[in-house]
Structure formats: C-alpha cells, structure tokens
Amino acid sequence: MSDDPEKPPAQAGRLPTGRLARTARVGGLVAGQGLRWAGMHTANRVRSPERAQTARNDRTAALVDQLVGQLGQMRGAAMKVGQMLSMVDFDGLPEDQRDDLQRRLAALRDGVPPVPFAKLEKLMRQDLGAPIGEVFADFEPHAFAAASIGQVHRATTRDGRTVAVKIQYPGVAEAVETDLRNATLLLPLVKRLAPGLDGRALAAEMRARISEELDYELEAQNQRRIERLLRGHPAIRIPRVLTDLSTRRVLVSEYVEGARFEEVRRAGEPVRDRYGEIVFRFFFGLLYREHIALGDPHPGNYLLCSDGRVCFLDFGLVRDVDARHLDGERALARAVRAGDAQALKAALTAVGYLPADRADVVDADWALTLMRMATSWYAKPGPRRFRSDDARRDHRREPVDDEQRDAMRDQMNQFTLPPESLLIRRMHGIVAVVLGQLRAGGDWGAIAAEYLHGEPPATPLGEQERAFLDGVGPSPAGVADARP
C-alpha cells in the first residue's frame, strides 16, 4: 500500500465498469481457451498416453493460470468468482499443481491496491448526505485494508469513538452486475476443470450470494445478528455496528485493535493452538449451532485482542442453511467416523453430492477413502498437529498408472457440489488452510463432535463456551495471557 494517498499503486482505481469491456475480457478468455483445448484434443489422438496426459495437465494449468490472471485484474464479482472457484477440486492435474492453483485462486482477495481517497469522497457525501468533515471529527485518507468490493479507513466520530469505515468502490455495483450476467460464459471452462459439477446451479448460488454482499445494509444486519448471538463470549468478539452512520455503500463499526494473523503465526505453540481452536469454534459453532454459514473465513479477517479474545470481521458473504441440509452434513461426518461405506454413500446421495442417477457408478469403499482424505481431520477424533504443507490436502494418494488415473477420474466426475454446500465447503477448506498455516495442534475431531453430534466439551475452552451458552459464564477472565 502506498504511503502517499495521492500516489497509489499503478493498478489502483482501474475498474472497467463498461459492459462491453468486462464482457470482452471474459469472452476472450473463454474463446481463446476453447480453441487451445480443441487443438490439444486433436493432437492427443496421435500421442502416447503419457504424452497426452502431460498435454492435458499443461493445458489445464494454463487455463487456470490465465483465469487467475484475468480475474485478478477485475474487482468485484470476477474476483469473487475466482475466490469461490478455489474450493473446486480440479480434475486432470497432479496433486502439487492442483494445490498450487487452488492457493492462487484463493489468494485473489490478497494484495488488492486501494482506490485513491478522492474517488470515494463523492460517494460518501451522496450516501451520508453531508461532507465527511460534518459527519466525522477525523478521517484518515489512507486505507488500511482493501478487498474486491470495498476498502476500509479509520475515522473518529463526532462523539469521540474510533471506528472502521468500509466504503464500496465507486462503480463496483455496475461492474458486478455485468460480471454476474457474464458468469454463464465461464461454465464451459469450469466443466473442463470439474466435469461433474452442476455449473448453472453453482452460478445461480454465486449470483445470489455476491449480489447480497454488495448491500452493506444487509451486511450490517448480519453483523448485528452475530454480535448479539456472541456478545459476552469468553473467546470471541464481534465489532458493534454504528447503524446511524451506515448506508447501503458505507458500513461503520467500532474499530478494534489486535495482532494480525502473521504475528500470531510467529507466536509459540500454546498461543497458536488456542487461537486455532477459537477460529475453529467460531465457524463450526455458527454453522452447526446457529445454522449460519460464513463464506469468507479469510485470516485477514481475524484480530487477536489484548484480552486473549479473537475479533472476527467481514460478514458480507453469509448464508442461512436449512437444518435438514446440516443433518445431511452431520450424517456424512458420522459415516466417515464409523467407517461405514454404505451409510456414507447414502448420505452423499441424500445431501446432493452424488446425484442418484450416477450413484451406481461410484464404488462405496472408494467414496469412503475419498471422504476420509477430505474430512477425517474434523470427522474423526484424535490429536493432530497441522503442518504448513498439508493445509490443503490430507496426503491424498495419486493413482499409480494411467488406467488407475482414468478410473479415479471417472469416479470423481460423478460427484457435484450442491449449491447449499458451496459456502460450507469453502468454510471447511479455508479453516483447514488457516490451521495449517498456524501449525495448530488439537483434537479437532473431538471439538467438532460438540457441534456435529452434541457431545460434551472436549477442552477447557469448550467448557467456557458451554457455560456462556448456558448463561452462566460470560466473562473472558483468565485468557489475557494467551497473547503473542
């Protein structure tokens, strides 16, 4: 981020809002990759199986590489699409390439250059109904955070409160509208990367969630709701919203000081372990206890406060999940925990991960092996310390020859991702990434069982949370020493 607000980075403020400009970027990507893909298939007819597989890998890697590069230049929904695609398990790539490309997609929200403050003043005057100087006693022109849809500035209210002011980029709503109309253009590429997905259903889900994220009044409602649910929690803090200063494009909430994620990563094991457990409990508790899926568990949205609590930020990407769907997710975890292949296959079909008309193709034992690799870190009890190099995978085994690889691909292509599970899978995946980056240790399966299966608290922090939920333990006393 530039120290001089009048000299922002080279890409700052470049937001192509015109329908033709944004459509041309996406359409050009799809058309160019379609021709290259067709050429690869033609050439593969005369190649050996080994060379054909290498060509497929290279073409898939080039496709996602260009997708990342193109979406990364476009604020708004284009970047959000890339972030959500980071949860897709791409077909046709070796494990190391697949993980690298997923990490690059997930990183689309990082390093976004801020928009010059002068471009935001007119928007704020329009939304607040007065010049900034009449609304705030002080307003810092340097943004201290920037993301795909808006950026955040620190300010002081007229009554002396320090606040964080999130401002939507001018023109981003129009850009997002165009991106959402263009989302269907990406479906052929997504089908090449993950043939089993119901791309249209996922596109509809992304359109709904991203459209909601543009409405800061809705985000303020989400934040107030979650803050009320967790007010007084012994380990979790949510900033309060200043409703009278918030609008559809400006969100004002209390400013919270705390250690950023990178500082926590450098702390000792006890701090990292406790912090990781709080992160885990926050997201799993909201989902399985309150039926709220938070789709943006990015570590940039956490602060370790001086009293030992973790403050969570950003409530734009939220979905209420039906209790019956969560019962299906619990059934999946129970089947993995019990090692029951037939029960797992039935649960996969019931929840929608395995369409009924494709179920006969999938071997139940193979599905159990696959789901164990994906979910055993939270579905099965037992102590585990994450490592930074296994955050995105649980030592998946690669097929040993072309025949086995083709058989695995055929099985994988039968699966899809139910739209209701998009944010759930995103949350599970990024929480695992965070625990890996923290190198956090704990009995994650036993902790998850509190939320999945109603089992008793597995840790002292779980006992404190249970006391809070029962209305007898609201104080965060005794945690102030858990700081880096």
Instruction: Kindly list the catalytic residues.
Output: 296
Mention every residue, 6+ apart, whose C-beta is less than 8 A from residue 32: 66
Report helix, strand or coil for 384.
Answer: strand
**Using CA atoms, how far apart are residues 97 and 309, in angstroms rounded to an integer?**
37
Distances (CA, A) of 239 to 2, 133, 137, 143, 166: 27, 24, 20, 18, 13
- Residue 407 class from Cβ within 10 Å (0-12 exposed, 13-18 middle, 19+ buried)? middle
Residues 157, 245: contact at Cβ < 8 Å? yes
Radius of gyration of the chain (CA): 23
Identify any residues that bridge with 166 across adjacent strands, giving them in sequence order: 152, 251
Q: Which of 288, 156, 128 is nearest to 216 (CA)?
A: 128
**Using CA atoms, how far apart are residues 472 and 225, in angstroms rounded to an integer?**
21
**Using CA atoms, how far apart are residues 203 and 180, in angstroms rounded to an integer?**
8
In the structure encoding, which two tokens stand for residue 350, read together?
């019931």
